[in-house]
Structure 1
Amino acid sequence: RGRDRCRHFVLDQLPDGRYVILGERRAHAELAELLQHHATAPVTPYQEVLTVALPCGR
């Protein structure tokens, strides 16, 4: 994967209102909490952390 490439993750809002990255086990009460968590905890199976959030529609 090149430095000029990006990976997209699908987020889901569960019926109880929590947010999760599809394929992950841990759900978060707030979207900001999910983003903060995965800035240091790698997303499986890629073992990559979130670095930059892009606005919708890009």
Structure 2
Amino acid sequence: MRSQHSKNVGPSDILLPSRGVKTLTCPHCWTAQRTERDFCCRCGAAFRYLDEERGARVG
């Protein structure tokens, strides 16, 4: 069985609450970085933010 943090396991989209804070820690690889990023600078996980997704809905 593979570890969740194995290099062969690709990270999926990570849903985060908001860009309201200045830094975050990637829940996949535990790398600290600024919230202005849309992807993790280490593992490439895509960051999605709840507050932006709510505002992006088309009615």
Q: Compare CA radii of gyration and give the structure with the larger one.
A: 2
Fold match (TM-score > 0.5) = no
The structure whose residues are more often strand, as a share, is 2
The alignment's TM-score, normalised by the length of structure 1, stands at 0.31
The alignment's TM-score, normalised by the length of structure 2, stands at 0.31
